[in-house]
Amino acid sequence: MERNSACRQIRGHPRNPRLTYNEREIDVKITAAKVFVCCPGRNFVTLKIQTDEGIFGLGDATLNGRELAVASYLEEHAIPCLIGRDPFQTEDIWQYLYRGAYWRGGPVTMTAIAAVDMALWDIKGKALNTAVYNLLGGKSRNGVLVYGHANGKDVEETIDEVGRYLEMGYLAVRAQSGIPGLASTYGVGRGQLHYEPAEKGLPPENIWSTEKYLLHVPKLFEALRAKYGGDVHLLHDAHHRLTPIEAARLGKSLEPYHLFWLEDAVTGELQEGYRIVRRHTTTPLAIGEVLSTIWDARILISEQLIDYIRMTVVHGGGITHLKKVAALAEIYHVRTGCHGATDLSPVTMAAALHFDVSVNNFGIQEYMRHTSETDEVFPHTYYFKDGYLHPGEAPGLGVDFNEELAKRFPYERAYLPVNRKLDGTMFNW
């Protein structure tokens, strides 16, 4: 290699003209990128990055209730910086968008970076004609264990719903039920396989009582274990509503029912708060769906205050960043348990499965189904079989986006609920 070209490679924007595949030199350049906002059942923000090789990549940029903030971050700020770059430079582009923003982190920025990152990995896989998991270390398991969402207005209905999931072949089920004395609560939907808490119009207001909740939940799991025995994995989401000592009490009262995990018992802003929970209970703890960078989870992981990190590809800075979170977690016996709710699009689910099937310290993947309209707008190769999801073998992420069909589902502003205590105090939803 002449000296000059090597120097050129180091200075300016690195391109690697020497990258070849099947004797064919791969010298791809990003030529355009577009953001699509549609509402097939619920709002989704999708990024499509185009290249001069005709290969395109897809990324999910959906942040429930704040969708347009991310769409404009991409259109106005991130996309102009991508044109002309080499999509193979996933790490450099990630660092460019993260450090280059000066204002680092946070859900909007990290969701925008995540969408770009997913799309670049999709392009890489397609350009190299291989599934993305092969670029992440290959398969570490035959399938991705998932859990579904059973919920009901009361214990009896929830027991039936758990039964429905077991009949569908699930090996792990999250159980949420209505709380006696409370008109509504998190996780209790309308008997569907998908659950969408966001509502059109202004944020609905829920009323909350921690006392009623703490008295009720142990009864739910006592009844579930009595009905289904000890084998099925049971999970529960406290949805950020307890103080550390209340979470300690709940964790302790659930120990006889050996949950797979108790999720988001306390908000994660004060990571140290989990020291109190950890001191009092052996119930496994999971957190992370609202965390957006590795720094948001550093203490939780490095002090082994949790057992599962639930950061996702879409809100956790993409595959590039989540790989680093998983690597840190592996050191401290923490496993992954990625968020996978209905408001994370099939593009995220596809990307998550490539991540899940390849990392060693995988724990479980949340799998809340999408509506049939969503699945039509986002055709995908991943499939469910006997309790596991499988990413499929298509090059890239194995998901597509039907732009024509999406036009039939225009965006409709919607908000997640807010929560007030019985005395009217504003609280966590």
Cβ proximity to ligand CS2: between 384 and 415 the closer is 415
Q: Looking at 186, 257, 274, 367, which residue is catalytic?
A: 186
Nearer to ligand CS2, 136 or 175 (CB): 175
Reference 42, options 373, 318, 297; nearest CA is 373
- Using the rule CB under 6 A, give the single segment among 150-158, 245-253, 267-275, 339-347 that binds ligand CS2: 339-347
Q: How far is the CB of 65 from ligand CS2 (least distance, A)?
A: 7
Region 47-76 residues binding ligand CS2, contact defined as CB under 6 A: 64
Question: Is there a contact between 67 and 45 (Cβ–Cβ < 8 Å)?
Answer: yes
Point out which span in 104-112, 153-161, 266-274, 337-345 binds ligand CS2 (CB under 6 A). 337-345
Indicate which single residue of 197, 273, 391, 398 sits in contact with ligand CS2 (rule: CB under 6 A).
Answer: 197
Query: Candidates 47-55, 157-165, 206-214, 338-346 — which segment interacts with ligand CS2 by CB under 6 A?
Result: 338-346
Considering only residues 230 through 259, tell me which ones interact with ligand CS2, judged by CB under 6 A: 237, 239
Asked if 239 is an active-site residue, the reply is yes
Build a one-symbol-per-residue string for 12-51: x at contacts with ligand CS2 by CB under 6 A, - elsewhere.
----------------------------------------
Strand 30-38: give its sheet, edge to edge: 30-38, 44-51, 56-60
- Strand, coil or helix: 190: coil
Which CB, 163 or 417, lies closer to ligand CS2?
417
| φ, ψ (nearest 5 deg) of residue 20 | -125, 155
Q: What mask of x and - would describe binding to Mg ion in positions 221 to 240, judged by CB under 5 A?
A: ----------------x---
- 8 Å CB contact between 173 and 147: yes
**Complex with ligand CS2: residue 44 or 96, whichever CB lies closer:** 44
Contact range with ligand CS2 by CB under 6 A, out of 126-134, 213-221, 225-233, 336-344: 336-344
* 64 touches, from Mg ion, ligand CS2, none (C-beta below 5 to 8 Å by class): ligand CS2
Q: From the candidates 149, 239, 370, 380, which is the catalytic residue?
A: 239
Whole-angstrom distance, CA of residue 284 vs CA of residue 306 = 7
Nearer to ligand CS2, 199 or 393 (CB): 199
User: Could you tell me which residues are beta bridge partners of residue 30?
Assistant: 51
Contacts 24+ apart (CB under 8 A), 99-107: 101/77, 104/293, 105/292, 105/293, 105/295, 105/296, 106/292, 107/63, 107/66, 107/290, 107/292, 107/315
Q: Is 63 or 223 the residue whose CB approaches ligand CS2 more closely? A: 63
Residues 6+ apart with CB under 8 A from 188: 151, 152, 153, 176, 177, 178
> Smallest distance from the beta carbon of 33 to ligand CS2, in angstroms?
25
Residue 182 interaction partner, one of ligand CS2, Mg ion, none, beta carbon < 5-8 Å per kind: none
Alpha-carbon 109 to chain mean position: 15
Using CB under 5 A, count the residues that bind Mg ion: 1
Nearest to 216 by CA among 171, 153, 160: 153
Nearer to Mg ion, 93 or 300 (CB): 300
DSSP 360: T
Is residue 366 part of the contact set for Mg ion (CB under 5 A)? no
186 is catalytic: yes
Q: How far is the CB of 68 from ligand CS2 (least distance, A)?
A: 15
Which residue is associated with the tokens 């496993």?
Answer: 335
Name which of 172, 171, 124, 144 is nearest 356 in CA terms.
Answer: 144
Answer whether 186's CB lies under 8 Å from 164's CB: no
| By CB under 5 A, residue 296 contacts Mg ion | no
Least distance in Å: CB of 368 to ligand CS2? 6
The angle subtended at Cα 217 by Cα 339 and Cα 180, nearest 5°, is: 115
Q: Which residues contact 41 (CB under 8 A, 6 or more apart)?
A: 194, 196, 342, 370, 371, 372, 373, 374, 409
Residue 277 structure tokens: 């929970």
| Residue with Cβ nearer ligand CS2 (197 or 363) | 197
What whole-number distance in Å separates Cα of residue 383 and Cα of residue 367? 11
Query: Can residue 343 be called a binding residue for ligand CS2 (CB under 6 A)?
Result: yes
353: Cα separation from own chain's centroid: 10
Among 144, 214, 341, 414, binds ligand CS2 (CB under 6 A): 341
In whole angstroms, how close is the CB of 38 to ligand CS2 at the nearest point? 17
Binder of residue 343, out of Mg ion, ligand CS2, none (CB less than 5 to 8 A by kind): ligand CS2
Residue ranges that bind Mg ion, judged by CB under 5 A: 237
Q: Show which residues are catalytic.
A: 186, 239
Residue ranges that bind ligand CS2, judged by CB under 6 A: 64, 197, 237, 239, 289, 339, 341, 343, 366, 368, 416
